[in-house]
Amino acid sequence: MNILLVEDDSALAELTATALRARGWRVDVSATGEPVARSVQQDDYDALVLDIGLPGIDGLEVLRRVRAQGSYLPVLLLTGRGSLEDRVHGLEAGADDYMVKPFAVQELLARLRALTRRHELRSSGALALGRLRFDGSARRAFIDDAPLRLTARESVLLEYLLQHGGGIVARDRLAALIPDWNAAASHNALDLLISRLRARIEPAGVRLRAVRGLGYLIEAEEQGNRI
């Protein structure tokens, strides 16, 4: 894989890059966030590992710039801030995952593999979890080979949740997918929509659960039973 690592702690950057390269991955390292948006456009990276506490523009602003130019590159945030509020801000800015320092390199490797797998599925237009399958090109969902009847809004949410399968999606990001909702009604409407979608996909062995204070997570039932 081809990784862009943005970390201003030189010792940590060297240690992390060495571990990734030992797996045969190519790693480019930047100590500042200013060149990142341009680098993402110019190079074919598989994932961006981005520290929040950077000199100059911080990691969240870097992430916003990357997303603003239309990039769907998987982004894993590194942060020394472990508070719930900081994690929510990272997810809302467009992060796919985050890790709190100090972290185990083996866990970083595993998370990067998971992120890139999800990105490959998203790019292919075919998404699957448990017995549930979503055909992005036809905008249709199936349980095994049986079509699943969904409203347009349910289809939009299901596709987005599956694209981020294994990761938590913030409530505001889901609400923003439905452009005709007004701000006052969006959260109540989202709860109702999530409840209906949850009931429709449960027969496929898929669970859609709320993560308090963060958002929603879609996962295979077997995985959910282990948590």
Examine the domain organization and report whether 116 and 194 are in the same domain: no
> Same structural domain for residues 60 and 106?
yes
- Domain end call among 76, 104, 121: 121
Q: Are residues 200 and 142 in the same domain?
A: yes
- Do 154 and 104 belong together in one domain? no
Q: What does the buried/exposed string (b/e) look like for 168-191 if buried means 16 or more CB atoms within 10 Å of the residue's CB?
A: bbbbebbbeeeeebeeeebeeebe
Last residue of a domain, one of 121, 150, 184: 121
| Spatial distance between the Cα atoms of 17 and 11, rounded to a whole number of angstroms | 10
Burial class (CB in 10 A: 0-12, 13-18, 19+), 146: exposed
- The residue type found at 128 is A
Give me the domain span that covers residue 132.
125-226
pLDDT, tens digit, 9 for 90 and up, residues 72-84: 888 999 988 766 6
Q: Are residues 149 and 43 in the same domain?
A: no
* Domain shared by 180 and 199, yes or no: yes
Q: How many domains does the chain have?
A: 2
Residue found by looking up tokens 């449960």 in the block = 202
- CATH code for the domain in which residue 188 is found: 1.10.10.10
Question: Do residues 34 and 95 both lie within one domain?
Answer: yes
Backbone φ and ψ for 206, nearest 5 degrees, come out as -120, 135
Domain termination residue (choose one: 121, 151, 168): 121
Calculate mean pLDDT across residues 193-213: 93
Note the pLDDT of residue 59.
94
- CB atoms under 10 Å from CB of 19, counted, come to 15
Based on the fold, state whether residues 96 and 130 are members of the same structural domain: no
Q: What is the pLDDT of residues 134-143, one digit of tens each?
A: 887 677 899 9
Are residues 111 and 129 both part of a single domain? no
* 96 pLDDT above the threshold of 70: yes
226, pLDDT greater than 80? no
pLDDT in tens, 18-71: 999 999 999 999 999 999 999 999 898 999 999 999 999 999 999 999 988 888
Render pLDDT for 169-191 as a digit per residue (tens, 0 to 9). 888 888 877 766 654 455 678 88
